[in-house]
Structure 1
């Protein structure tokens, strides 16, 4: 660790990781679902606390020229990269600040505009108490009344089974005498795999351990290092986070994972009876955490929570199809089994989505007979990755086109870059998730102009270092991308 990093990994950059669930348009969906009054406005200040390499900040800034989007991070290398991308993309509304929240003065905090939306993904359970206190001080001082805060964090008891794995990584990586944190974490994997094979009694076989020990898919060393090698890695109970945020007058509103807001999708009959005996608030959330395989929570808090009618609020929200090929049936795996819409419900809804953006109220009105519950319909559409919320009707804008080109140049690495990427969309007011190859394809000048060349030509252009067989496979993948993703990119004002 570097001495100034306060125990967090600072000798290597974190992986790019766009989280669609923390975009303000999605937060509005989640709030409406439970009858909490909050909607994004044309002119807002959005602050990403612990912004890493700034991908989310720059994507939101490009998609929303009327917003001021601020990224705070302690690591000057990450801030420098993020600011450089913003400068090359001419994003005047993206601001990056190197900030140590543990020692940030009130005067320094007051230089940050008053905040409408604060986002913290992968921060709270990785930093020390002094940084946590600084986060609360910042929110108490700068988050507007009525503003919202998103927290994505490792939660107890679900992540408790991985605490031994985290400690193991720290011990084993410390044996590596050379290399940065990413390299030391990656080198530790062989020892972790060898120990896992002996089936030690107290090293629980969690999904995380199985992924590390048994999955052949490469794991980014940056992810392992930042996930496991920080000094202050501590999963927390939801109610303890609520108590910590109370000085900032933040009240828990809902989960940004929409299906987790519907008890019928979580509990069987007997568990539901116990759940309903609990008072509303942290007790019920604790019951969910006991009954669900939920190691990571995505919580939304509001500073000044106001209630509204959830049916009316949901029915007003427009959504658009974000899949190129619409599934023949709509079903998702939930805690209690499989949730699905009947064909009689799904057929008219899917046809309407193919025609363009529709409000949830209109979609609900289409099936004959019993109408779907708006919250359950939304949870299923979202859980299947079928729709995204839309905030405006727009074609490609100079800001999104310019930024997407810069993002592709910076991160796509010829279509093989690692990370969770997105294309800036003026329609979604945020990012439309994509792979690095999709990012490279979408910004190709001919594709962006609506006249894509043959896939073989694009493969030669984007993947020039492949052999003949590699180019053939690459062309097949690009052909599939063009067929399935181009309609989505047009729908969301990307091309």
Structure 2
């Protein structure tokens, strides 16, 4: 292995402060249940995240799930940020800045109920991939689940050479003294000039220009880690299946509930063709060709335990679901690889109304079916999966688990809201209901602080928020126009505060965020 501590990883630019719901153990267990698999669930569970970035997701999940967490990210600045947040809310999570090799060498780690790695596999060396597999072999419990996301073929085939251009320019043509953003921009400009010179490669992949323009508009922290690492190992789905076989891991399910809705993903011809493939791994790989898959989110299980039809149905009926937004904000269309589809009002409106009843309190699938007796079990289940895929609904953990984590979610959320006084980085709070994160903007977090201080009127929340951001010399961007006067900014904040009071608060209360 390389003697350089970063091993070719682009360390000059920190990762984003985003949140990933796929790493939520509650969400993972639901995705397994959807495909008929049992999953471990315990109040004393141990979970692990490999490569936690800035630590937003691992802190959210450590607060919102019973049990304990271990994680590592070998960038010291990111590990320090994650650890600082964990310390602020009193977490017992063990967060390291160890490499995978160093983590594997530890002799004080438990057996884990789940191991997750999001956006790691493709961007590390083959040696590190082997260490990840060995870590899972040693430390994942029988029955435990592993979540992994990665770039894949065939979808990446046309764009892979473009990504290689970026990395090579950064390695060989950039000035080492240049700032990270300057090096990234230089590589993008070089690639744009190369495509403009009309090489045969560009003729063979005619959409590259649009792809490059899209990349130019993305967050530079994301671009740095997606495109500028020296290691980039894009695989087929079956390559990853083979890689994890020595750890006794079996592919079980996708972590994308929308994938279970075939009409959104496949043509009629595609569905007929795949139906004729008996082997599940071959069928899954062939499916990637039909949807031109470029990024996978997969769940593996160590010792897959399939539920009987009766067990599966009973577990689904007992699962609770909750709305993540007011029903008037739910889009009326959904998009998949097969195109855009409209949500049928006669199906979705009654289900949304049932979910919104009793102040948006969570409902079991059994309760929802009772509320819409004209619909079949299959119709309600499929509609829920579409809404989950749209981030409009989330599966919930048990009420017992919710009670165990309520206090620590409140403590973490207070710390996150306090950070919004100074920065716009983390725009998510933790929910003990879902075991995961809920999008809450900086302004909304400032409104919540105002509420905590006893301010009852939206106009007071708006003034409080303006006192903070205006005092820091900042302002609001409305559309493409920057609001320049205090009156304009306060008016916009007042409008947002009214919307927050009338719409968002009922949802946040149902999610036990406030």
Alpha-carbon distance in 2 for matches of 1:305, 1:399: 32
The match for 1:97 is 96
Query: C-alpha separation between the residues in 2 aligned to 1:449 and 1:146?
Result: 48
In structure 1, what is the equivalent of residue 135 of structure 2? Answer: 138
Deviation at 1:32, TM superposition (A): 1.2
Instruction: Tell me what 1:290 maps to.
Output: 289
Contact kept? 1:324, 1:486, Cα under 8 Å: no
Map 1:79-98 to 2 at 5 A.
79-91=79-91, 93-98=92-97
The answer to whether the Cα contact below 8 Å between 1:331 and 1:380 also exists between their aligned partners in 2 is no
For residues 316 and 126 of structure 1, do their structure 2 counterparts lie closer, same or farther at Cα, with a shift above 3 Å needed? same
Q: Distance in 1 between matches of 2:94 and 2:246?
A: 27
**Is 1:347 aligned to residue 349 of structure 2?**
yes
1:51 aligned partner: 52
Q: Which residue of 2 aligns with 1:60?
A: 61
Quote the Cα distance in structure 2 between the aligned partners of 1:448 and 1:144: 46
Answer yes or no: is 1:42 the counterpart of 2:43. Answer: yes
Q: 2:337 aligns with which of 335, 355, 359?
A: 335
Is 1:170 the counterpart of 2:171? The answer is no
Query: Cα deviations across residues 83-133 of structure 1 (Å, max 9, x unaligned)?
Result: 111112211x22102222235554x1x312210011100011000111111
Please, which runs of 5 or more residues in structure 2 have no aligned partner?
476-483
TM-aligned CA distance change 1:372 to 1:211, over 3 Å: farther
Q: For 1:265, what is the secondary structure of its paired residue?
A: helix
- 1:427–1:492 contact (8 Å) kept in structure 2: yes
CA distance in 2, matches of 1:448, 1:22: 33
CA distance in structure 1 between the partners assigned to 2:416 and 2:465 by the alignment:
19
Per-residue deviation, residues 147-169 of structure 1 (Å, max 9, x unmatched): 00000111111122221121121
Aligned to 2:507: 488
SS of structure 2 residue aligned to 1:16: coil
CA contact (8 A) 1:156 1:235 kept: yes
Counterpart CA distance in 1 for 2:333 and 2:9 is: 40
Give the 5 Å matches for 1:226-241: 226-241=225-240
Name 2:120's counterpart in structure 1: 123
- TM value normalised by structure 2: 0.86
Equivalenced residues, count: 485
Contact 2:32 2:253 in 1 (8 A): yes
Q: CA deviation at 1:399?
A: 2.1
Give the conservation status (yes or no) of the 8 Å contact 1:45–1:117.
yes
Alpha-carbon distance between aligned partners in 1 of 2:82 and 2:131, rounded to the nearest angstrom: 23
Structure 2 distance, partners of 1:459, 1:196, is 46
The equivalences for 1:356-375 within 5 A come to: 356-373=361-378, 374-375=380-381
Whether the 8 Å CA contact 1:172–1:188 is kept in 2: the answer is yes
More helix by share: 2
**Cα distance, 1:84–1:2 mapped onto 2, change above 3 Å:** farther
Q: 1:5 maps to which residue?
A: 6
- 1:82-481 equivalences under 5 Å are 82-91=82-91, 93-102=92-101, 104-106=103-105, 108=106, 110-174=107-171, 175-177=173-175, 178-196=177-195, 200-203=199-202, 204=205, 210=210, 212-213=212-213, 218-308=217-307, 309=309, 310-326=312-328, 331-340=333-342, 342-355=344-357, 356-373=361-378, 374-393=380-399, 397-410=406-419, 412=420, 416-417=424-425, 421-442=427-448, 444-446=449-451, 451=456, 453-454=458-459, 455-464=461-470, 465=473, 466=475, 467-468=484-485, 469-481=488-500
- Paired with 2:215 and 2:446, the residues of 1 have a C-alpha distance of 27
List alignment gaps of at least 5 residues for structure 1: none
1:154–1:296 CA contact under 8 A, matched in 2: yes
TM-score when normalising by structure 1: 0.89
Task: Find the aligned partners of 2:430 and 2:236 in 1 and give their Cα distance.
Answer: 34
Contact 1:329 1:343 in 2 (8 A): no
Cα distance change on mapping 1:199 and 1:452 into 2, 3 Å:
farther
The answer on whether the counterparts of 2:429 and 2:439 sit within 8 Å (CA) in structure 1 is: yes
1:480 Cα offset (Å):
3.0
SS in 1 for 2:57: helix
